[in-house]
Structure 1
Amino acid sequence: MKKLLPILLALIGIGGGIGAGVMLRPPPAEVVEIQPCGDGSDIAKSAAHGDDYGADHGDEGSTGPEGELREYVKLNNQFVVPVVTESKVEALVVLSLSVEVGPGQKELVYAREPKLRDSFLQVLFDHANMGGFRGAFTNANNMDVLRNALNEAARKAIGDTISDVLITEIARQDV
């Protein structure tokens, strides 16, 4: 009996510790994912009706406001931006960007992509440091400020070849 009592108390202590750990575990972090272009349900509906809207057209382009043909260049990798508060990373923001260029200018964008990415990262870090990714970071005012800063940085890096910067995906993961 003297040898059985310590083993029994150890098992009860381990079981109580595991139970307390399970009960006191914090809830999982919430992931906020925004798709500015919609969820794709309209494409599925049009494909079901047999029209060509849902077809993959690649980077054929579209017409700009002046009626000229525009092309869209998706930058190869996503941008990861830390949101820092009091010397501690609070969250990570992941963005995918595309740029709108004139016809035949895609190769120029790919050739100067490292400089363009550096300019974009500097703008994104500045935006994060000013608190642009805290709270309701996807409201219209915050997104307009970010888009305008990205457009300005793109024009400084490459010139007037780029007519617009598109934020195609944005997600924030709290750490």
Structure 2
Amino acid sequence: MKRFLLPVLIGILGLPLGAAGGYLLRPAPATEGEPPAEAAAPRDYVDLSNQFVVPLLADGAVAGLVVLSLSLEVEAGQTEAVLRHEPKLRDVFLQAMFAHANAGGFRGSFTDSAALAPLRQALFEAAGGVLPGVVSDVLIKDIVRQDD
């Protein structure tokens, strides 16, 4: 009989305590006078004109190629600024991609999101160095690896 008493007591006490906790922790109701949450600032997307080609080296010889297409997410109205700085952006992006390739970032399952995270961060930092406060994200549109 004592074996059944403990589960029954837990059920009797647990149900009202759980309901009280749910009632106390519920989200506050929205009022009609409350303004809606701020909408995200409008963004433009700028496609960089050409693909990026990154050679993969093994023992001093080209063992393959990685081809990437990038797009930049920028504040609305900043498209012209990006296009004016595209040569410099391409240069710093290639530097970041070469460093990523030399560190082995394009080996194995290079398209895994964890493997691409350092490349995305390096590209974002490179863009911020050229256009500080303008670029909010660097998008990898296409990525292909061709091994010889």
Query: What pairs with 1:43-122 in structure 2 (closer than 5 Å)?
Result: 67-122=40-95
TM-score by length of 1: 0.62
Corresponding residue number in structure 2 for 1:163: 136
Structure 1 CA distance for aligned equivalents of residues 69 and 110 of structure 2: 16
Q: Who wins on radius of gyration, i.e. which is larger?
A: 2
Structure 2 CA distance for aligned equivalents of residues 150 and 78 of structure 1: 14
Query: What is the aligned-residue identity percentage?
Result: 54
SS of aligned partner of 1:159: coil
1:38-92 Cα shifts (integer Å, max 9, x gaps)? xxxxxxxxxxxxxxxxxxxxxxxxxxx9511000000000000001011011110
Counterpart code for 1:100: E
Structure 1 stretches lacking a partner, 5+ long: 1-64
SS of aligned partner of 1:83: strand
Runs of 4+ in 1 over 4 A off after TM superposition: none
1:94-131 Cα shifts (integer Å, max 9, x gaps)? 00000000011000000000000000000000000000
Structure 2 CA distance for aligned equivalents of residues 67 and 154 of structure 1: 21
SS of aligned partner of 2:50: coil
Counterpart code for 1:94: V
Structure 1 CA distance for aligned equivalents of residues 111 and 86 of structure 2: 26
Corresponding residue number in structure 2 for 1:58: none
1:142 to 112, 115, 130: 115
Aligned-residue Cα RMSD (Å) equals: 1.1
SS of aligned partner of 2:56: strand
Counterpart code for 1:85: A
How far is 1:140 from its partner?
1.6
Structure 1 CA distance for aligned equivalents of residues 83 and 46 of structure 2: 8
